[in-house]
Structure 1
Amino acid sequence: MRADAITPDLRFLLLPLPGFAMLPFGGFLDKLRFTGDEEDYSRQRYCTWTILGQEAGQVESSSGAAVRVEVTPANIRFRDYDYLVLFGGRSASATEALAPTYRRLLRDAAAQGVKLVTIDNACFLLAACGLLAGHKVAVHWRHEQEFRASYPRIPVVSEQLYCIDGNRISCAGGLAAIDLVVELLARGCGRTRALKGLADMLVDETRSSQHQLKSREATGSGMGPVDRAIALMRLWMASDRSIEQLAAGVDISRRQLDRRFRASHGVTASAYWAEMRLRHVQWRLLNSSHSLALIADEIGVTDTSYLAKIVRKRFGVTPAALRKEAVRHPEE
């Protein structure tokens, strides 16, 4: 129900892509609802939102729950909106493959001055459509190396929840979508309205784009040398940096670093890093259609035959067999 007596400060088009993640979508939408009206009335007064779809009907999320499409590109004017927010899903390659279907829609929106916002893996779609050139992007940490390998000319801001770069805005996903929408609402509706309803959502406070996730390591209070080393391992996954450089990066010797890793993880720092890279390869093989050569680039390996050999040694099957098994049992 819209209340037309008040001209809204902001107007949002929400575009859930097939297989979108429900968590960021629900958080983003509910925060709009609280800001949109007084009390908890849910009218669209101070901001408005409309669910856009490529075609009429419903869009199914990754959990199977569906959202009803309210408008299609054929019956809207993009210039009547301030933001077009794309919600991606768990598979970056599947989202990227939507480019031929969504390219015209997205380019029309951009041409009419709408700010394009990507949540989660929707940034892969925008990049595939050529709409991130000249802009920085925030990517979910799990997909950062994948994005860097696929789009090396697009700068990735590491360890950020979201990035506002002119008329291109990106968010890593999850609950960070709430932090982003609060910031967008604060800029358009004022801080008071932007913060309205957070207590109802049981959110203590919003986080800045630079917020560091404690749950990434979850090994106790504070960031000790091992925690910081693991963070650097993820950041340097595609590099040829040595364990000595890693130890120097956390201000201890290699011997001390290995001793700490053995105490906390039962292996040396080198072994931990090698396993991290192989787990990344496994996850990418199971969740994308990208070539082994591209995945190899993401972990700094130039010889794909060598990568295939160590994958087989670690997981007992070849990369092709691993991927085939994932296709055979997609729900497992």
Structure 2
Amino acid sequence: MRSVLVVLFDDVQSLDVTGPVEVFNGAELHRPGTYRIRTATLDGTPVRTSSGLTLVPDHALTDGRGTAPHTLVVPGGQGTRRPAPDLVAWLREHGPRAERLVSVCTGAILLAEAGLLDGHRATTHWAYCDKLARDHPEIEVDPDPIYVRDGNVATSAGVTSGIDLALALVEEDLGRDTALSIARHLVVFLRRPGNQAQFSAQLAAQTARREPLREVQQWITEHPGDDLTVESLAARARLSPRHFARAFQAETGMTPGRYVDRVRLEHARRLLEDSADGVEEISRACGYGTPEAMRRAFVRTLGAAPAEYRRRFRPAPSPTH
């Protein structure tokens, strides 16, 4: 039996709470006796979430019950922008006693204020990564992944990534079959790889204001294997290559080449995770031309060759009995 304690506070983000709770509860329903889930506020009184829902806790953090859970979950929300000193003090005292510390979204701010992320690699919602790094230079803040595991500390990005992290923890605790059953019930992916970017290439870049440039962005996304040189894209936008390159960067925040690189890498990752296509076939489909060109792009960006990436992140088939 693993105890899971979820900390509640005023203006908490409701999905940061209910997402992981639904995952852990799904595991308990699937395999009774595996998790005991409780929620608690400092004084045991109900709290109002940022969306207006009222959550009634099981007990108070200060009543002495459950101060050393197996998994301590700290959700995020508007309430983390003005952390209550008493809550931070409780986390500072009792957080180190948990076997596993987990934050969802800006819950990482509370863990940081309590000194529990010092010396760790961590992430949070993309909009607050710079603030977390600026306010707490002793933390190695990684703004890209949807979740980060560093020892017994696990931090996740915005909102729904808490579900991905919870599924990964259940898979670690109880195996893939249980996590897969929960994911199917919740109608979500088994788990997105933790190092999957918070933003897709399309979201990471700003949407161009001018229609020809927006059309080019869409074309790149839909045709990663085509000729995507600046000259070719400029002709599609009916601009000179020099004018196109300047306008594209000004309106999207990245160069055409950088945008193409991100789209191709993202497409290749999806094919490696979701298809049985070979590396050579995928490299052609994504515009790399050769497996070696794709390998260099993967090693440079992800630190792993395509074959190794597939071994790490493509779900293995469940054993048959």
Q: TM-score range by the shorter chain?
A: 0.5 to 0.7
Does residue 97 (structure 1) correspond to residue 82 (structure 2)? The answer is yes
Matched, 1:84 2:82: no
Could you tell me how far apart the structure 1 residues matched to 2:172 and 2:254 are?
A: 44
Task: State the alpha-carbon separation in 2 of the partners of residues 154 and 256 from structure 1.
Answer: 42
Q: For the structure 1 residues 129 and 257, does the alpha-carbon distance in structure 2 shift closer, same or farther, using more than 3 Å as the test?
A: farther
Secondary structure at 2:51 match in 1: coil
- CA contact under 8 A between 2:41 and 2:59: conserved in structure 1? yes
Helix, strand or coil: the match of 2:108?
Answer: helix
Number of the residue aligned with 2:49: 61
Which of 146, 153, 161 lines up with 1:168 in the alignment? 153
The answer to whether the aligner puts 1:20 opposite 2:12 as a matched pair is yes
Give the aligned partner of residue 313 of structure 1: none
The residue correspondences of 1:262-273 to structure 2 (distance < 5 A) are 262=247
Note the 1:192-271 alignment, pairs <5 A. 192-212=177-197, 213-214=199-200, 216-217=203-204, 219-220=217-218, 259-260=244-245, 262=247
132, 142, 159: which is aligned to 2:144? 159
Deviation at 1:257, TM superposition (A): 7.4
Q: One-letter code of the match for 2:131? A: E
Question: RMSD of the TM alignment (CA)?
Answer: 2.9
Which ranges of structure 1 fall in alignment gaps of 5 or more residues?
1-7, 225-246, 248-254, 271-332
2-structure distance, mates of 1:57, 1:222: 52
Q: Measure, in 1, the Cα distance between the counterparts of 2:190 and 2:140.
A: 29
Q: Residue 47 in 1 paired to residue 40 in 2?
A: no
Task: Provide the rounded CA distance (Å) in 1 between the counterparts of 2:19 and 2:73.
Answer: 13
Higher relative contact order (CA 8 A, sep 6+): 1
Alpha-carbon deviation of 1:260?
3.9
Give the CA deviation at 1:45: 2.5
Q: Report deviation, 1:158.
A: 2.7
User: Is 1:60–1:66's contact at 8 Å kept on the other side of the alignment?
Assistant: yes
Q: TM-score with structure 1 length normalisation?
A: 0.60
Measured in 2, the distance between the counterparts of 1:206 and 1:223 equals 23
Offset from partner CA, 1:128-185 (integer Å, 9 cap, x none)? 2222111111121111112222122211113111111112221112211111001111
Match of 2:289 in 1: none
Aligned to 1:30: 22
Structure 2 gaps, min length 5: 208-216, 223-229, 231-239, 256-321
Which has the larger displacement, 173-182 or 150-159? Answer: 150-159
